Structure 1
Amino acid sequence: MSAPLAPIRLPANQPTQFYRGGAAIAALRSASSGDTTDLAREFGPEDWVASTTTLFGRDTEGLTRLPDGRWLRDAVEADPVGWLGRDHVEAFGSSTALLVKLLDAGQRLPVHFHPDDEFARRHFDSHFGKTEAWIVVGTQGPSPTVYAGFREALDPRTVADWVADQDAPSMLNALNAVPVEPGDTVHVPAGLPHAIGEGVFVVELQQPTDFSLTLEWRDFLGDEAKGHLGLGFDTALKALDTSAWDEQRLAGLIRRTATVDTAVVDLLVPGSRPFFRADRLRPTTPLALDPSFTVLVVSGGHGRLKTARGDSYDVSTGDTWVVPHAAGELELDGDVTVIRCRPPAVRG
């Protein structure tokens, strides 16, 4: 008989990216310089946690490998009900419906956007587009900033001209600049043009794809086709939201939680709920956690995660864990801060 499914502590999983970063991830995980190569330090800005998603066009790069040597993707495929729960499987099949990343922007990311479900289904034969959300867990520099949504409505032809000319200043200046600090969260709907500024470290939740349509490709990707993922920009730009995001509308994407001091804090705006859920957990007494496929990121402190079977796991700063649904109800205790990431709720 196989062992019952239980929480699993995961190592770092940092596929090579086109931009710099990763020092904040290494610091969180307490990695020494001897544990990473120069390439990983320079181009390891993303840690794909509990990933069943590959980089665009790749076979296995980006996938999480479990301590027993299996890809997490294969383990879930072999026992989707155990990993995900019956209600989830009825709604999403064997997909986890979630990708979680640690993302440390060592330089400003390019202006880009992502397709919605309908566009992804039509052009990429995918059930999922790529709505995402950022939970800011650290910042460096004098003015940490993210960029989201055009400040004024734009004619699509104007944007197409910027892309053809690779007019990066016009693209960036057209976006809302949003100062951020740890505890801030930003919901990023599919289609919304956006970028993350240098020195911003986030836990990112997203739909489980790697569909990034990059307007500002020249100084980052070096290849126009990588910007439009082979679609051509005439097609790709049809997925772009060129509407105006004024201050009031933009506020509907942002939540400021740094001063909220309860044991459980819902981190994301209501618009995120059809796509994923995220809570900050700071138990003052033992905190019961419902059964669910869950990714846990321990952002500070030390605590214990206990199962109903009586198993106990130490959790500490920098740990990342994947929890199968079949692990059952858990109890979290200790002087610890944990970000709990889950797929969208489904009705039984």
Structure 2
Amino acid sequence: MSSGDRPVLLPANQPRQFYRGGASIAALRGDASADFGPEDWVASTTTLYGRDDAGLTVLPDGTLLRDAVAADPTGWLGAAHVAEFGADTALLVKLLDAGQRLPVHCHPSNAFASAHLGCRHGKTESWIVVGTSGPEPTVYIGFRDDVTDERLESWVAAQDTDEMLAALNPVQVAAGDTVFVPAGLPHAIGEGVFIVELQQPTDFSVTLEWKGFLANADIGHLGLGYDTALECVDHSGWAKTLDSLIRRTGGDPAEVVNLFSEQADPFFRADRLQVSGSLVLEPSFAVLVVLDGEGTLGDVPLRKGSTVVVPHGAGEEVLNGELVAIRCRPPRVAG
């Protein structure tokens, strides 16, 4: 079984999804495209909702990453993290390539997930835009204005797609932009947007716009019924405060660019590493996604498209070469 003492190169892990995409993932990795491979779940200890094993990362030696972490949580995650979360990475990283607009949906909070879904984690997430295509790559974030319970219920009951989408704030995005998406915030990702997504390690989605995307409404409300599921939706208007969720980092030339504000710290952290030469990385469980160039992490060779899981027990590692990578890490904990 793989131990938590050295970085591990990971193969692609693309569980089948309900929407189109995957060409940008294939181009990044240098692999053949898949008709329904729009998500690559990197270093995943999380399964698709309602599934026993789909979505789990298999390490090169055949061990599930979930099992390897359970066998050596301190080696993989570090003592401080284990004291807070146990043998739980508290993180899921995805490459997500929207080959079509995703439906309007949101995710439950920790409190809602604990009360209704038997899980300590909800699903707050953040998007790091790493590529776009098309003339107006757009994401849709939060309602423009306050929405009443009755209005939201009527949209969902009638599956009024036009009204739901029109009620959201459209934001054009470019590579280097990041968007923080707190639990409850209604959102959709537009066609042609390619992101590295960090999120809490669940697959809980309340799909407001299910018609044309999901087989039936039951999947959209997580088996809770929409009367209960809609209680997790943030009804407030975000038009005046939208900038608090968005950062534009594409032009920052620093060697290490912190991609998120402090509001993300309780959930996850991410940096863009722009290395020319060498960079020392402190001990941490981390997921590395190489966007460009080539080099090494310790003795692990890296190239454009490489994805690597780094155990805390690997200690201080040196990143060498000429490359750009995203380093994703779990929530900040004391110690």
Range of TM-score over shorter length: over 0.9
Give the distance between the partners of 1:6 and 1:45, measured in 2 at CA.
29
Counterpart contact for 1:254–1:269, Cα < 8 Å: no
Give the 3-state SS of the residue equivalent to 2:276 in structure 1.
coil
**Equivalent position of 2:238 in the other structure:** 245
- Deviation at residue 222 of structure 1 after TM alignment: 2.4
Code of the aligned partner of 1:21: G
- Deviation at residue 269 of structure 1 after TM alignment: 2.1
Q: Which runs of 4+ in 1 moved over 6 A?
A: 1-4
Give the distance between the partners of 1:2 and 1:165, measured in 2 at CA.
50
Scaled by the length of structure 2, what TM-score is found? 0.98
**Equivalent position of 2:202 in the other structure:** 209
Percent identity between the aligned chains?
62
* Residue ranges of structure 2 left out of the alignment (5+ in a row): none
Counterpart contact for 2:2–2:59, Cα < 8 Å: no
1:174 is aligned, of 167, 182, 207, to 167
**Equivalent position of 2:250 in the other structure:** 258
Task: Say yes or no: does 1:9 pair with 2:9.
Answer: yes
Describe the shift of the 1:4–1:122 C-alpha distance in structure 2 as closer, same or farther (beyond 3 A).
closer
More displaced 10-residue stretch of structure 1: 196-205 or 266-275: 266-275
Describe the shift of the 1:173–1:328 C-alpha distance in structure 2 as closer, same or farther (beyond 3 A).
same
Counterpart contact for 1:148–1:192, Cα < 8 Å: yes
**Equivalent position of 1:336 in the other structure:** 323
Scaled by the length of structure 1, what TM-score is found? 0.95
CA RMSD for the aligned pairs?
1.2
**Equivalent position of 1:190 in the other structure:** 183
- Deviation at residue 322 of structure 1 after TM alignment: 0.2
Counterpart contact for 1:277–1:341, Cα < 8 Å: yes
Counterpart contact for 2:272–2:326, Cα < 8 Å: yes
- Deviation at residue 279 of structure 1 after TM alignment: 0.1
Give the distance between the partners of 1:57 and 1:84, measured in 2 at CA.
26
**Equivalent position of 1:273 in the other structure:** 265
**Structure 1 segment 15-94 matched on structure 2, within 5 A:** 15-32=15-32, 41-94=34-87
Code of the aligned partner of 2:187: H
**Equivalent position of 1:37 in the other structure:** none
Give the distance between the partners of 2:218 and 2:253, measured in 1 at CA.
47
**Structure 1 segment 229-240 matched on structure 2, within 5 A:** 229-240=222-233
Counterpart contact for 2:69–2:76, Cα < 8 Å: yes
Deviation string for 1:153-192 (max 9, x for gaps)?
0101100000000000000000000000000000000000
- Deviation at residue 305 of structure 1 after TM alignment: 1.1
2:305 is aligned, of 291, 296, 318, to 318
1:289 is aligned, of 246, 267, 281, to 281
Counterpart contact for 1:304–1:332, Cα < 8 Å: yes
